[in-house]
Structure 1
Amino acid sequence: MKRFGLLGGVLSHSFSPQIHSVYGDYEYKMFLLAPEALEPFFKKKDFDGINVTIPYKQAVIPYVTSLSPIARRLNSVNTITVAPNGNIYGDNTDYRGFSYMLKKAKISVTGKKVVVLGSGGSSRTVYAVCEDEGAAEVIIVSRGGSINYDNLNTQSDAEIIINTTPVGMYPNNGRSPVKLDMFSKCEAVADLIYNPLKSALILQAEKLRLNYINGMSMLAAQAKYSSELFTGIPLEDELIERAVDTVNGIMQNIVLIGMPGCGKSSIGRVLAKRLGKAFLDSDTMVYNKTGKSAAEIIRSDGERAFREEERLAAQNAGKTTGSVIATGGGIVLDERNIDALKQNGIIVYIDRNIELLETADRPLSSGVEALKKLYDLRNPLYKKHSDFIINGNGSISETADLILLK
């Protein structure tokens, strides 16, 4: 069997094996190497083809026999194959991957002013694609360049924003390289980050109703083109979306919101077991940190103190992938919580009749009138922030079934 894999310096969060499993039935290993291990690795040639990721896309060039034209132009190699005579060939499929990403999102740079955030290797790839597709102007923004983040307001007429920096990437979620509202003519945003699925930059674009796309399709597309180089077998582009769906399914969280006592925690445990996902409860996360329940904090320190702990819990829960997350009833009161949970999550509102809600040990909804007042306040927020609304009047199992049908 042919031996393929991924070479890099940090591989713990890579989805390449899952993606390549869509493209072929072949061995795909992780080669986590220190810089000093590169030379012996290439001398041994114990592989038939490898993908290369940071920080080695340039460092591997001295070890290849020849480069493809695009790899030479970009001075970057992300795909290596070994010929029968032992020669090592370096190629770059990131260029085609980014082109696919733009086409999938129906983002045309032709005749447009494009601002590219970052000046690293990915920036060179993005610049080349934009140049070849006829962008009117491509501006590279870097911390030390003539166009930088301090004078970026001079580029407020940009129509397309493309982020190639790691700002906002896991585990530093929630950060954005720019505020999009400074770009009055912006119509589309492309972010090469794919973890989280919706970076802070993408969440801004969503709120502004701009066209946007994350980097998952580029990742899957470049892998498809690499697979073709590895095996010599052409593949249909439809497989790219299958690979995207595969990884999204692994990463995606299901976030449950709704009134206190609607059964979010119980439903969440059932869902997590059925889907093979981890289960998190924001109230439990608060208790594990403080040693107090939500009710105890509210009684002893006030609601504001609890909301701050809840915000931190939402922030940490939102960074996770592959989880079912049950939230407290007031999670929707702070939009920062929603942003954190939307990074990797589909938000499901469990709408249960107030007559059926459990009210024991719930200081904010302890009486009928208080409960109705709370519902009137929060129901519009639940609806606003949810992707799906589920009738929660049935049993725990029945409600879980309804969520799974979505």
Structure 2
Amino acid sequence: MSERIYGLLGRTLCHSWSVPIHAAAGNGAYRLIELEPHELPGFLSRPDIGGLNVTIPYKRDVMPLCDVIDPAAREIGSVNTIVRRDGKLYAWNTDITGFLYMADLAGVELKGRKVVILGGGGTSLTAQAAARAAGAREIAVITRSGPSNYETLSHHADGEIVINTTPVGMYPNTGAAPVNLERFSACQGVLDVVYNPRRTALLLQAEALGLPCSDGLPMLVAQAIAAEELFFNQRIDPAENRRILALLRQRMENMVLIGMPGCGKSTVGGALAKLTGREAVDLDVEIVKSAGKSIPAIFAEDGEPAFRALEQTAAARFGAESGKVIICGGGIVKDAENYGLLRQNGRIYQLDRAIETLPTAGRPLSQGADLAAMAAEREPLYRRFRDIRIDNNGSAAESAAAIWRDFCADSDSQRT
């Protein structure tokens, strides 16, 4: 395998997850191949090419350089998989396989539905082909300047499935959504091909509305497995899609700890980092670094609003990252905007400890406060933020183990 070239061909690939996907599928030779446009012809003429995936901006550019193009890929108008066989370059588009897998896994039914597709690029062509193959009743493609555009979106308010194929909301520019789902009163499902963050602003709104939805990671995994089958001309057990997807979910998603001041978040976070080998990020520590003064000093000199602004900045920065243990201050739930910042890439755990055991030293809002009243006031906020509540009246190691068990089970379940 190592004598032939396998990899992802593109221009800027620093945020790609393709290498770990293909490695998990058994292709240890797979690598990232960054080329400038003028380098494509020379590279694709190499006789030692085994199999390549192709990503933006080259999915169309490589087509004239291939010898045989699968009819389905030619109809879509782009290719994402190239294999050299008998001296010729054969090309396919496995994105449609990945797209249909993503929709099926999320329980988003395309058959008989009006599908509204946001964006007109190469991935939009794949989504259109997938919707046709699945028997969509009607397909509307929304672009910035086409006949159906964002100014005329009201003409498609009866859209039942909304699909985002644009990069809006993608890391590092998280938090933006291409449309407001409330404009689609008949909406029954949402798909977003963006996979970092796991939950874009569009998907967070879909969750809030109770709609079945998915990010693009299942599509990425399934198209890669389909490509591996073409690389080596052999079938792969379909169960590999779920296994690799669960593995990536565990690697990518953050574990976020919230709860009352003094409930043990820092201690449990440290135990969780040790258990999992992850980096623990304490937002309060980061706030102190950025402010150049202690938290009591920030409250005394600048006031709580200034502290909350620093807290939100820290939540935005680290909530957009992957694979971390994020330890939050007790009052982070007071600002509703922090929910999306933490939830976009994280599973949120509220640590619960008996009120009478909570320390107050060094905690400006706890000193002299009625902690029972504070807990009662904040409980609806914690409930709004959390995915699960963890009893932390035992040891930190026990709580960390409970969080890790739940986190692994959630990754395996493929819940969105």
TM-score, length basis structure 2: 0.94
State the SS of the aligned residue for 2:319: helix
- Summarize deviations over 1:347-379 as a string: whole Å, max 9, x none: 000001111112101111112x52222111112
- Pairing 1:65–2:74 present: no
Structure-1 residue corresponding to 2:51: 49
Point out where structure 1 has 5 or more consecutive residues left out of the alignment. Answer: none
CA contact (8 A) 2:170 2:196 kept: yes
User: 1:74-93 counterparts in 2 under 5 A?
Assistant: 74-83=76-85, 85-93=86-94
CA contact (8 A) 2:275 2:400 kept: no
Distance 1:50 1:146 in 2: 36
CA contact (8 A) 2:7 2:30 kept: yes
Distance 2:90 2:127 in 1: 23
- Summarize deviations over 1:46-91 as a string: whole Å, max 9, x none: 32111111111111112111100111111211000001x2111111
Structure-1 residue corresponding to 2:402: 402
User: 1:142-181 counterparts in 2 under 5 A?
Assistant: 142-181=143-182
Distance 1:358 1:393 in 2: 14
- Pairing 1:32–2:34 present: yes
Amino acid at match of 2:379: N
Distance 1:357 1:36 in 2: 64
- Summarize deviations over 1:263-286 as a string: whole Å, max 9, x none: 212211221122111211111121
Distance 1:328 1:280 in 2: 11
Moved more, 136-145 or 266-275: 266-275
- Summarize deviations over 1:14-60 as a string: whole Å, max 9, x none: 11121112322441121111112112211223321111111111111
Structure-2 residue corresponding to 1:119: 120
- Summarize deviations over 1:287-312 as a string: whole Å, max 9, x none: 12111232221111111111111111
Structure 1 position 148, deviation (Å): 1.2
Distance 1:343 1:86 in 2: 46
Structure-2 residue corresponding to 1:107: 108
CA contact (8 A) 1:18 1:246 kept: no
Structure-1 residue corresponding to 2:326: 325
- Pairing 1:3–2:5 present: yes
Distance 1:265 1:401 in 2: 15
- Pairing 1:383–2:386 present: no
Distance 1:47 1:135 in 2: 38
Structure-1 residue corresponding to 2:360: 359
Structure-1 residue corresponding to 2:285: 284
Structure-2 residue corresponding to 1:393: 393
CA contact (8 A) 1:19 1:246 kept: no
User: 1:239-254 counterparts in 2 under 5 A?
Assistant: 239-254=240-255
CA contact (8 A) 1:8 1:53 kept: yes
Distance 2:81 2:225 in 1: 11
Backbone CA RMSD of aligned residues: 1.3
- Summarize deviations over 1:149-178 as a string: whole Å, max 9, x none: 122122111111000000000000101000
CA contact (8 A) 2:256 2:346 kept: yes
Structure-2 residue corresponding to 1:372: 372
CA contact (8 A) 1:114 1:138 kept: yes
Structure-2 residue corresponding to 1:202: 203
- Summarize deviations over 1:381-403 as a string: whole Å, max 9, x none: 21232111111112322322222
Amino acid at match of 2:17: F
Distance 2:48 2:32 in 1: 13
State the SS of the aligned residue for 2:393: coil
CA contact (8 A) 1:224 1:240 kept: yes
Identity of aligned residues (%): 45
CA contact (8 A) 1:351 1:392 kept: yes
- Summarize deviations over 1:288-345 as a string: whole Å, max 9, x none: 2111232221111111111111111111111010000000101111121011100110
Structure-1 residue corresponding to 2:412: none
Moved more, 137-146 or 147-156: 147-156
- Say how many residue pairs are matched: 404
Moved more, 315-324 or 294-303: 294-303
Distance 1:177 1:69 in 2: 32
Distance 2:240 2:209 in 1: 31
Distance 1:133 1:90 in 2: 23
Moved more, 136-145 or 392-401: 392-401
Amino acid at match of 2:281: L
Moved more, 355-364 or 103-112: 103-112
CA contact (8 A) 1:283 1:310 kept: yes
State the SS of the aligned residue for 2:101: helix
CA contact (8 A) 1:198 1:343 kept: yes
- Pairing 1:256–2:257 present: yes
State the SS of the aligned residue for 1:48: strand
Distance 1:242 1:178 in 2: 33
CA contact (8 A) 1:252 1:323 kept: yes
User: 1:333-348 counterparts in 2 under 5 A?
Assistant: 333-348=334-349
Distance 2:318 2:214 in 1: 23
